Amino acid sequence: MSPGSITVRPFEGRDTAALLDCWARALPLDAITLDILERKVLLDMNYERDSLMIAWLDDALAGFVVCFVLNKPIEKVGHREDTGFITAMGVAPDTRHRGVGAALLDAAEKFFRARGRVIICVAPYTPNYFVPGVDKDRYADGVRFLSEHGFAEYSEAIAADALISKFEIPPDVLSKEKRLAAEGVIIRHYERQDLAGYIQFQRDLMPGPWVEDARRNLLELTRGRFPPEAIWLAVDQGKIIGFCQNENEHFGPFGVSDAYQGRGIGSVLLARTLHQMRVSGCHSAWVLWTGERALKGVYGRLGFAFTRRFAIMKKQIA
């Protein structure tokens, strides 16, 4: 390569160490391990040879972009035939403003155009996403860069964390739970006999990606790698009307049927899950994707505090 030249090409195994180093420097709050790289990118059902592209500036790996289209459909969503997804992108700090990011975006657009996509979304809720969108505070320069290249924010996500090492279920939540029980709504752990009804509840009322998350966790449960007590259900006369779950310290998702909103069911589910997490040895809980209303409401009441704010962005390319 000549001095100052930029080359973009597909990732190869021999690039692994350099890629992980570049990723950590480009996205310091979101560095990954080899296990995560393999699990969330290289072993993703949607991965193609050109899905992970890296940019070299002279003899240094200067940036990367992770692209994919839905070759495997998402339940209730399908293939999103018009949309391509960027799940991660970064440029090493010492190589910025030298055309590396623009070269990576150009390669990404060619990837999507070749597959008939006319919209590019940056890190929405997709299989194996890392974080939602772009951190508005820590990566403000990234938001500006994408905006300058035709991307616009169309949604926002908020991350929140809670210290739960001393968490106790508040008395008012216990009172709500008692009142709900008197009304016939029981909050309890998932049981193996719930499987068919639980999956149907997810299919009928929850977003498609949540259905896939539920199925993945239940498959892991059958292998002894996911504890049934990590799922709490709200049940009315045998009918599942709400759920809440955790994956180690990752809390959520959780949801309640619209017909049962406003009765405190969500608060009880959340509190029971946080208490179970503490009993199971977790010292903190985090939710990666919520909104202002939820943070000021049920999450805030039970100890969650704001940590990060993300811009979900997209661009029309045709």
Residue 195 lies in a domain: yes
Residue 170 structural domain: 165-282
220 and 134 inside one domain: no
42 and 150 inside one domain: yes
Q: Residue 106: left (phi > 0), alpha (psi -120 to 50), or beta? A: alpha
Predicted structure pTM score = 0.93
Residue 127 lies in a domain: yes
pLDDT in tens, the chain (318 residues): 445 799 999 999 999 999 999 999 999 999 999 999 999 999 999 999 999 999 999 889 999 999 999 998 998 889 999 999 999 999 999 999 999 999 999 999 999 999 999 999 999 988 899 999 999 999 999 999 999 999 999 999 999 999 999 999 999 999 999 999 999 999 999 999 999 999 999 999 999 889 999 999 999 999 999 999 999 999 999 999 999 999 999 998 999 999 999 999 999 999 999 999 999 999 999 999 999 999 999 999 999 999 999 999 999 997
Indicate which CATH number applies to the domain containing 60: 3.40.630.30
Residue 293 lies in a domain: no
Report how many domains make up the chain.
2
178 and 199 inside one domain: yes
146 and 196 inside one domain: no
148 and 173 inside one domain: no
